Amino acid sequence: MTHSEELLLSLDKSWKQVSTAWKKARSKTSEGSVHDLRVSTRRLIAMLDMTQALSKDNHIPKLQRRFKKVLKRMGPLRDLQVQLGTVSRLRQAGLVQDFKRTLERRERRAVDKIRKQLMKHAKRRLAVRVKDVRSEFTRLQQKLNDDAIHRSIERTLKARRNEFLTSRRRFQPADADTLHKMRIALKKYRYSVEAALPVLGNSAKERARDMQTFQKLLGDTRDVELLRAELERWAAKRGKKIAAVPVLDRLTQKKEDLLKKINDSAASFEHVLESEKLKPVIESIHAAGAVSNVESPRLEMETAAKPKSN
Mean pLDDT of 48-55: 87
Q: What is the pLDDT of residue 137?
A: 87
Residues 245 and 294 reside in one and the same domain:
yes
Residues 156 and 23 reside in one and the same domain:
no
Residues 263 and 182 reside in one and the same domain:
yes
Mean pLDDT of 146-165: 88
pLDDT higher at 190 or 304: 190
pLDDT confidence band for 197 (50 / 70 / 90): confident
Q: CA torsion angle for 271, 265, 215, 298 (degrees, to 10)?
A: 170
Residues 65 and 158 reside in one and the same domain:
no
- Tell me what the pLDDT averaged over the chain comes to: 84
Say if pTM beats, i.e. exceeds, 0.75.
yes
- The number of distinct structural domains making up the chain is 2
Residues 137 and 1 reside in one and the same domain:
yes
Q: What is the pLDDT of residue 201?
A: 73
pLDDT confidence band for 203 (50 / 70 / 90): low
Q: What is the pLDDT of residue 188?
A: 93
Asked whether residue 296 carries a pLDDT value surpassing 50, the answer given is: no
Residues 49 and 130 reside in one and the same domain:
yes
Residues 153 and 132 reside in one and the same domain:
no
Residues of the domain holding 8: 1-144
Residues 161 and 294 reside in one and the same domain:
yes
Q: Are 219 and 176 in contact (CB under 8 A)?
A: no
Percent of the chain past pLDDT 70, that is, above it, reads 85
Answer yes or no: is 310 within a domain. Answer: no
Residues 119 and 226 reside in one and the same domain:
no
CA distance 86 to 200: 37
pLDDT in tens, 58-94: 889 999 999 999 999 999 999 999 999 999 988 767 8
Residues 1 and 135 reside in one and the same domain:
yes
pLDDT confidence band for 267 (50 / 70 / 90): low
Last residue of a domain, one of 144, 162, 177: 144
Q: Are 194 and 40 in contact (CB under 8 A)?
A: no
Last residue of a domain, one of 122, 144, 166: 144
b/e map 65-103, b = 16+ CB within 10 Å:
eebeebeeebeebbbbbbbbebbeebeeeebbeebbeeb
Q: What is the pLDDT of residue 62?
A: 93
Q: What is the pLDDT of residue 244?
A: 93
pLDDT confidence band for 269 (50 / 70 / 90): low
Residues 232 and 267 reside in one and the same domain:
yes
Residues 121 and 175 reside in one and the same domain:
no
Q: Which residues contact 37 (CB under 8 A, 6 or more apart)?
A: 18, 21, 22, 24, 25, 70, 74
